[in-house]
């Protein structure tokens, strides 16, 4: 059986792996809650991961890298907004296009700038987000049970991990306790009513899509400058879609999103650590663990265990005066 | 409200979108310091300049015809099937089972078996999301995306743990018996005395794809089911009022769509690789989206759009071979085509429409 130290390690890597999912999941939350479906989370994360690593490699500063990542992701978010809000195009198709655009452009530009077959140079020192040691982590470490939990599981992550966790209550507050949040949710459920009240549907939706862009930028920057030390082609490897799955699993709610992302992060950590799990009576192959987030999402979408109801106006462009 | 002439809607709008996509791609090539005109020359020579190039272009086009038709028929029913990737993966499993289970005496019989099984497997993989959409209201786009990933994991498991021959390292099935190998275009055109380059992957599946185009056209515009699919896609409410069952139409449209995606595997798995590999679909399921959008969901349009993407694929490979432009340029072009013919369609269409309406008024 697994000992305590191994459990702490597993949970530690769960937090690490759940962070990009959580950032992307919260990103999707804003857009989808405002009625703009976004299956382009993957693409925005990918281009942000690339831009962050490229800028960090060029300037030696991870903060400039982060800014570049957010900027790149915002560009694609703007494109998605243009297509799905201004020109009332199909939001799903726009998302597909954005994923391909990011997938192609990152390799094209990476090859042109660095000539490493789409990779960026390895980042080190100030070009990466370093782990932060929380106060007293060293002195508390010998304390039984709580010591390792504090010093290894809670302390020692990069700043973006803490930002991601802090964004959960912040998002819950913004969405449920502020005027902007109320309007954002209303625009996703009944845009005509919001319009009648004299609030610009277009404005709110663009704002939501922009927040999505910024958060996807954080997610991508985390991947290439904190979790890994540089960009590799297709490095998001479907994480944007797992985040999307987590968003549905969380029924488009911030706190549930945290739980869903942690669960999916744990599944990923398990599948990396153990090839297959022997339960005595049955062997669970690693592929099953990898597919479990998707299977769970389908089950929840099917409504057999709780029903996930998307925002009512999701996917529909708003046409004024009809 | 006035309307544009039909030809403008069917030909001019997609063509204009395509031109915009290509101009931007040209700018991208310029931006990475290469010559777009030279690049185009290399692509045309490499993909269309010899029967060898054509062999590859047609091979890729065959894939895209299948996946394009699959997306197109779902579009007609107002459904967005983004799961072509997973359905084609399962189709590959069907082909492998068909080719490995029985000792076929002749390729034509093996082809028949693999066509049936690949279509059945692809349809079965589409059936679950379709049923969930029809009966439980689960959004089909999300479920088909999830099923793509589940299919990849399933195939990975089967290849590593079940289908891999003893002692073989790479995750792939056993090689199919030689009797199941499909004749390529060199052999087939040789029967009627037309010279065609040896060693290209284009094979008899191309003709299966062409038959599929005709069958899909007939289903959509010449059968009662097709009429029901189209009315359901145009207006769900009106269709229900007319007594059309939404469950039935969603299921049929998605089953046909999944079957078409699955058929793609006949070309890649039996026609080219002769064994089942991990990633034999290689994104063709997604290219089907671009093809269906460009082809305006009409089989004739899909055929030409598939040919265009076949050209882009083979041309892109040539570019990567002769210049410093990576193959991923094609991914960018593909993204731009999807963007302009799909999501930004209105941006291209609206000014054209205004132009037509203005000139129409002037003439009267």
Residue A148 pLDDT level (bands cut at 50, 70, 90): confident
d(CA B98, CA B86): 19
Does some domain include residue A280? no
Given a cut of 60, whether residue B364 has pLDDT beyond it is: no
The whole-number pLDDT of residue B361 equals 63
pTM of the model: 0.90
On average, the pLDDT of chain A sits at: 90
Local structure of B9: helix, strand or coil: helix
The whole-number pLDDT of residue A126 equals 85
Contact (CB<8Å) A285/B141: no
Query: Taking CB atoms and an 8 Å cutoff, what residues of chain A touch B142?
Result: 244-245, 248, 297, 301
Identify whether the C-beta of residue B272 lies closer than 8 Å to the C-beta of residue B159: no
Does some domain include residue A274? no
- H/E segment holding residue B210: helix B205-222
d(CA B107, CA B179): 6
Here the contacts of A130-136 (C-beta below 8 Å, separation 24 or greater) are A130/A158, A131/A156, A131/A157, A131/A158, A132/A156, A132/A157, A132/A158, A132/A159, A132/A162
Does some domain include residue A141? yes
Identify whether the C-beta of residue A299 lies closer than 8 Å to the C-beta of residue A305: yes
Structural domain of A110: 4-239
Report the domain count for chain A: 1
Contact (CB<8Å) B329/A92: no
Paired tokens of B317: 């490979």
Domains and CATH numbers, chain B: 42-342 (1.10.3470)
Given a cut of 60, whether residue A49 has pLDDT beyond it is: yes
Distance from CA of A314 to the nearest CA of B (A): 11
The whole-number pLDDT of residue B363 equals 47
Average pLDDT estimate for A301-312: 75
pLDDT digits (tens, 9 = 90+) for B196-253: 888 899 999 999 999 999 999 999 999 999 999 999 999 989 999 999 999 999 999 9
d(CA A19, CA A262): 8
Contact (CB<8Å) A83/B150: no
pLDDT digits (tens, 9 = 90+) for A204-240: 999 999 999 999 999 999 999 999 989 998 999 889 9
Q: In chain B, pLDDT over 90 holds for what percent of residues?
A: 62
Query: Taking CB atoms and an 8 Å cutoff, what residues of chain A touch B138?
Result: 298, 301-303
Does some domain include residue A253? no
Does some domain include residue A129? yes
Paired tokens of B243: 């007594």
Does some domain include residue A304? no
Q: Which residues make Cβ contacts (< 8 Å) with residue A69, sequence separation at least 6?
A: A48, A49, A51, A52, A55, A217, A218, A220, A221, A224
Does some domain include residue A281? no
Average pLDDT estimate for A122-145: 84
Q: Which residues make Cβ contacts (< 8 Å) with residue B46, sequence separation at least 6?
A: B53, B314, B315, B317, B318, B319, B321, B322
Does some domain include residue A193? yes
Given a cut of 60, whether residue A1 has pLDDT beyond it is: no
Query: Taking CB atoms and an 8 Å cutoff, what residues of chain A touch B347?
Result: 87, 89
Given a cut of 80, whether residue A307 has pLDDT beyond it is: no
Contact (CB<8Å) B338/A96: yes
pLDDT digits (tens, 9 = 90+) for B16-34: 888 998 999 999 889 888 8
B1 or A268: which carries more pLDDT confidence?
A: A268
The whole-number pLDDT of residue B14 equals 84
Q: Name the least confident of A133-147, A175-189, A254-268, B25-39.
A: A133-147
């Amino acid at each position: 059986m697994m000992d305590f130290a191994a459990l702490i390690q597993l949970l530690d890597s769960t937090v690490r792996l759940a962070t990009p999912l959580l950032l992307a999941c919260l990103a999707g939350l804003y857009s989808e809650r405002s009625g703009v479906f976004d299956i382009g989370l993957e693409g925005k994360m990918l281009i942000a991961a690339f831009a962050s690593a490229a800028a960090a490699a060029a300037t030696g500063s991870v903060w400039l890298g982060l800014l570049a990542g957010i900027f790149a992701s915002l560009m694609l978010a703007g494109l998605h907004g243009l297509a799905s809000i201004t020109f009332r195009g199909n939001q799903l198709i726009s998302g597909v296009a954005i994923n391909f655009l990011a997938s192609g452009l990152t390799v094209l530009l990476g090859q042109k700038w660095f000539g490493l077959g789409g990779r960026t140079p390895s980042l080190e020192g100030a070009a990466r987000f370093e782990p932060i040691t929380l106060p007293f982590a060293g002195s508390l470490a010998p304390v039984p049970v709580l010591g390792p939990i504090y010093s290894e599981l809670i302390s020692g992550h990069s700043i973006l991990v803490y930002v991601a966790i802090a964004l959960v209550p912040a998002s819950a507050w913004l969405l449920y306790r502020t005027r902007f949040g109320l309007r954002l949710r209303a625009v996703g459920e009944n845009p005509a009513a919001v319009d009648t009240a004299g609030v610009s549907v277009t404005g709110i939706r663009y704002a939501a899509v922009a927040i999505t862009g910024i958060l996807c930028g954080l997610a991508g920057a985390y991947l290439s400058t904190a979790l890994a030390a540089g960009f590799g082609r297709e490095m998001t490897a479907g994480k944007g879609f797992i985040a999307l799955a987590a968003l549905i699993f969380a029924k488009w709610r911030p706190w549930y999103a945290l739980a869903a992302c942690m669960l999916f992060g744990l599944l990923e950590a398990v599948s990396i650590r153990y090839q297959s799990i022997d339960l005595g009576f049955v062997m669970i192959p690693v592929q099953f663990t990898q597919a479990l987030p998707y299977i769970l999402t389908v089950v929840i979408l099917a409504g057999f265990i709780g029903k996930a109801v998307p925002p009512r106006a999701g996917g529909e462009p708003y046409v004024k005066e009809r | 409200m006035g309307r544009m002439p039909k030809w403008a809607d069917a030909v001019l709008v997609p063509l204009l979108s395509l031109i915009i996509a290509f101009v931007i791609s040209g700018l991208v090539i310029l931006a990475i310091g290469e010559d777009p005109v030279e690049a185009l020359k290399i692509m045309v020579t490499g993909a269309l300049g010899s029967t060898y190039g054509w062999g590859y272009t047609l091979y890729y086009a065959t894939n895209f015809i299948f996946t394009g038709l699959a997306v197109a028929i779902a579009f007609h029913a107002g459904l967005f099937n983004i799961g072509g990737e997973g359905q084609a993966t399962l189709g590959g499993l069907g082909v492998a089972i068909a080719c490995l289970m029985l000792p076929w005496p002749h390729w034509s019989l093996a082809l028949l078996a693999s066509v049936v099984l690949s279509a059945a497997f692809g349809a079965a993989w589409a059936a679950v999301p379709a049923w969930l959409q029809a009966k439980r209201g689960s959004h089909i786009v999300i479920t088909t995306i999830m099923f793509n990933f589940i299919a990849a994991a399933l195939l990975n498991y089967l290849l590593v743990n079940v289908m891999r021959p003893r002692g073989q390292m790479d995750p792939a099935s056993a090689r199919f018996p030689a009797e199941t190998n499909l004749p390529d275009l060199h052999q087939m055109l040789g029967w009627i005395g037309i010279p065609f380059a040896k060693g290209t992957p284009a094979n008899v599946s191309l003709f299966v794809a062409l038959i599929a185009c005709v069958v899909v056209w007939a289903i959509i515009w010449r059968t009662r089911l097709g009429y029901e699919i189209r009315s359901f896609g145009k207006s769900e409410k009106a269709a229900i009022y007319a007594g059309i069952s939404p469950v039935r139409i969603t299921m049929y449209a998605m089953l046909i769509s999944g079957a078409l995606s699955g058929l793609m595997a006949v070309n890649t798995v039996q026609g080219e690789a002769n064994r089942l590999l991990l990633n034999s679909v290689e994104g063709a399921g997604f290219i089907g989206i671009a093809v269906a959008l460009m082809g305006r969901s009409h089989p004739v349009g899909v055929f030409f759009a598939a040919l265009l993407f076949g050209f882009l694929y083979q041309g892109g490979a040539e570019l990567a071979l002769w210049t410093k432009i990576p193959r991923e340029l094609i991914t960018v072009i593909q993204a731009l085509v999807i963007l302009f013919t799909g999501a930004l369609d209105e941006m291209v269409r609206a000014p054209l429409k205004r132009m037509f309406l203005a000139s129409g008024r002037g003439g009267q």
